[in-house]
């Protein structure tokens, strides 16, 4: 779960950076919600909770969908931040998939 946690925190940091760089535009302010959620999910993953891995995996899928939607048009959040979020969410999602696939025996990795 260590790899998933790292990419989750990277995504959270990019969400905060997106909020700041957007000048706290409404879309930018919304990015603070996933950032806080991802930090909370990080805490659950750090405790080896497999159900949190499932929840985080679903959040990564939703996060990627939302980021793709944001990339489809102009907006106040810089494109490179959105691409970074998309990449971090994809990497976290793939790592979480591996954790879920491995099951309880890999919880503390």
CA distance 67 to 75: 11
For residue 105, what pLDDT is reported? Answer: 66
Q: Give 15: exposed, middle or buried? Use CB within 10 Å, 0-12, 13-18, 19+.
A: buried
For residue 38, what pLDDT is reported? Answer: 98
CA distance 48 to 108: 6
Q: Which domain holds residue 64?
A: 2-106
For residue 47, what pLDDT is reported? Answer: 95
| Number of domains composing the chain | 1
For residue 103, what pLDDT is reported? Answer: 81
Find all residues with CB under 8 Å of 25, minimum gap 6, and list them.
75, 76, 77
Q: What are the per-10-residue average pLDDT scores of the chain (109 residues)?
A: 96 98 95 98 95 97 97 95 98 96 68
Q: Which of 92, 94, 93, 99 has the alpha carbon at shortest distance from 7?
A: 92
Work out the number of other CB atoms within 10 angstroms of the CB of residue 44.
Answer: 17
């Amino acid at each position: 779960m260590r790899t998933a946690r790292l990419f989750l925190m990277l995504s959270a940091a990019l969400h905060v950076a997106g909020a700041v760089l957007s000048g706290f535009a409404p879309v930018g302010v919304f990015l603070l919600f996933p950032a806080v959620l991802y930090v909370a999910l990080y805490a659950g993953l750090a405790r080896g909770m497999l159900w949190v891995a499932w929840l985080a995996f679903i959040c990564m899928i939703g996060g990627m969908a939302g980021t793709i939607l944001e990339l489809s048009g102009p907006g106040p959040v810089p494109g490179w931040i959105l691409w970074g979020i998309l990449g971090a969410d994809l990497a976290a999602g793939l790592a979480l998939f591996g954790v879920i696939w491995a099951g309880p025996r890999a919880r503390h990795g």
